[in-house]
A and B are shown apart, each in its own frame.
Chain A
Amino acid sequence: MTSTQNVRIPTDGAADGAVAAPSRWRSLGRTLGVVWSNGKARVGIVILGLFVLVAVFAPLLAPYDPKDTSFDRNLDATGAHWLGTTAAGEDVLSQLIFGARISILVGLAAGVLSTLIAVAIGLSWGYLRGFASEVVGFIVNLFLVIPGLPLMIVIAAYLQNGGILMIIAVIVVTGWAWGARVLRSQTQSLRSRDFVTAAQFSGERAPRIVFREILPNMTSLIVGSLFGAATAAILAEAGLEFLGLGDSSIVSWGTMLYWAQNSNALLTGQWALLFAPGLCIALLALSLTLINFGVDAVSNPRLREGKAKK
């Protein structure tokens, strides 16, 4: 991101047009261009787009109701059931298609929420000095070192059989600290720049400096940590559901694997039932990781493709 948009001359608005930074839309377009020009990111965007389409149009795409148990049980792939049926007699393909909704919902909701917390805490932490900074740092480090999955499992166990909202809450509580630490170090390095000093001298208050002056300069980092958080959330959700700690009556990729293991799909040899949900989780997580390669290239030109080494 350019820092030019912050060096406007504050005196008169008339000259503003002459020295104006490139419009927000144009710089957004240029940024997206950098992401798109990265081959890995392009693949990621296409995969993610497909999954979103599948999730949105699930009722149109799915051949059957995902909870319809009226079919024969443990069927292998047939013409009527492309991926077979489950031990309870549900159509695997329909479950797979509807399962995309849960994963995308959890990834989006938990990703956005934990990034919001990370931005609020990370930026304030980076801007603060002295004792207050130490206190915030202590809390963040505490959340950072407590192992995530055990903490998630223990909280989920105490909250017994919560639904998807409980899972999102658990993921957010355990997942915001990493982003906060990354954003904090960037804030620290930005706060000593001239434009921040200028804003301080012109009498702006701290919250405005942090969220209006510093924040726009780290957009790509924030987007990167959003994708990272969403990836972690999707994997964590699938893991918790697989262990049977969520609401096992909903149709999601994690619960599909949970039922597959508990109904001995390993013994009946239904490889599609095992293979397909995991592959979807992996592809969705991979698409976000791939997009992040492009986002990284925005903030770190050394990682851009198509240039000679060194």
Chain B
Amino acid sequence: MKYIAGKLGLFVLTLWAAVTLNFFLPRLMPGSPADAAIAKLSQNGPVTEATRAAIEAQLGVPDGSLWEQYLAYLRQVVTLDFGVSYTFYPQTVSSMVSTALPYTIILVGVVTIVAFILGTLIGVAAAWKRGTWLDSLPTLGGSFMSTFPYFWTALLLLFFAGYVLHWFPTTGAYSATTTPAFTPAFIGDALLHAALPALTILVTSLGGWIIGMRNAMINTLGDDYVTFAEANGLRGGTVAIRYAARNAILPNLTGFGLALGGVVGGSILVEQVFGYPGIGYLLFNAVIGQDYPLMQALFLMITVSVLVANFLVDILYGVLDPRTRR
């Protein structure tokens, strides 16, 4: 109980720090949204003082002391009211986020889980069959794949499977002719659109899980209890899975938790390449369009979900590994 309370306290403190960071980040940086908008306008001719005042009023340049701004910001965060998007006016930030979120959660979420399970299994096999091709192939292949810049993998897949071979659609989450609904036709269409982004994320994230699991597993294989289990004549598979892998998986679980939290942030580069309308693509568009309210809300949401995931993994870790509770 004391363990959970301590973790909870730390979580709340981290949450507050992240929210506050999100408040100060734009204020520490040179320039303001209004400056950026005026700079864009002034390319077409001189900007009058009246126009400047109008733009500042429209973009809601903060007034009042820093403390008052901070309180107003906290109120926004608690009520999830992030105002109106600049670039997609008059849509609210919240409605745009809730449109994009399901695409990202389903695409990146499913792929992350599949990659973790597959990678861990391959890692166990690689460590157990150390020194054979079953070890060197996935380890080398995995480290090669994880050094690919993943937007490049995405570009290549898009080029060959999309443009050259015409196997898959090249952009979007569904065809322009269909409307989102729970019909077999739409779901099939959406799956076809998700195939290439999913493959990209799978290929580039698999290597990390394989190597992490393999190295953790090699360390536990050297421990006395594994030798003891073997000396007792237990079958190889039993020793590998129920003795060694069971303990070796603990560090990888932390990574998995963080990856699950990262799902909400989407795969910015992959979503951008495929024009997939998830959170990452939304963040990219917000950045390009200098849509500060949208950007701030998205960054906050991405950070908070990683923090929550991290907290849950900490709790789970305490349950699985009593040594961490002390």
Taking Cβ atoms with an 8 Å cutoff, the residues of A that contact B are: 40, 138, 141-142, 145-147, 149-151, 153-160, 231, 235, 238-239, 242-245, 257, 260-261, 266-267, 269, 271, 274-275, 277-278, 281-282, 285-286, 289-290, 293, 302-303, 308-310
Tell me, yes or no, whether B233 is within 8 Å of chain A by CB: no
B163 and A274 within 8 A (CB): no
Tell me, yes or no, whether B158 is within 8 Å of chain A by CB: yes
**Which 3 pairs show the lowest CB-CB distances between chains A and B?**
A278-B152, A158-B29, A285-B147
Count, chain B residues at interface, CB 8 A: 59
Tell me, yes or no, whether B258 is within 8 Å of chain A by CB: yes
B26 / chain A contacts, CB cutoff of 8 Å: 158
* Interface majority SS (helix, strand, loop, mixed), chain A: helix
Ordered by A's residue number, 27 sampled pairs between the chains whose C-beta atoms are within 8 Å are: A40-B140, A138-B13, A142-B14, A145-B303, A146-B18, A147-B262, A147-B302, A151-B299, A154-B295, A157-B287, A158-B26, A235-B149, A239-B149, A242-B149, A242-B269, A243-B287, A266-B162, A267-B163, A274-B155, A277-B152, A278-B153, A286-B144, A286-B147, A289-B146, A302-B222, A308-B131, A310-B222
Contact of B149 among A146, A266, A281 (CB under 8 A): A281
A154 to B23, CA, bound (A): 13
A266 and B159 within 8 A (CB): yes
- New A-B contacts (17) at CB < 8 Å, excluding given A159-B30, A160-B36, A281-B152: A40-B140, A138-B14, A142-B21, A145-B307, A146-B18, A158-B31, A159-B29, A239-B151, A266-B163, A266-B170, A267-B163, A274-B152, A278-B148, A285-B147, A293-B143, A303-B215, A303-B218
A303 to B214, CA, bound (A): 11
Tell me, yes or no, whether B284 is within 8 Å of chain A by CB: yes
A289 and B306 within 8 A (CB): no
B147 and A289 within 8 A (CB): yes
**Min distance, Cβ A142 to any Cβ of chain B, angstroms:** 5
A145 and B258 within 8 A (CB): yes
Contact of B156 among A145, A159, A275, A290 (CB under 8 A): A275
A145 and B149 within 8 A (CB): no
A155 to B14, CA, bound (A): 20
**Min distance, Cβ A144 to any Cβ of chain B, angstroms:** 9
Q: A261-B155, A302-B219 are in contact. Are A158 and B25 (CB under 8 A)?
A: yes
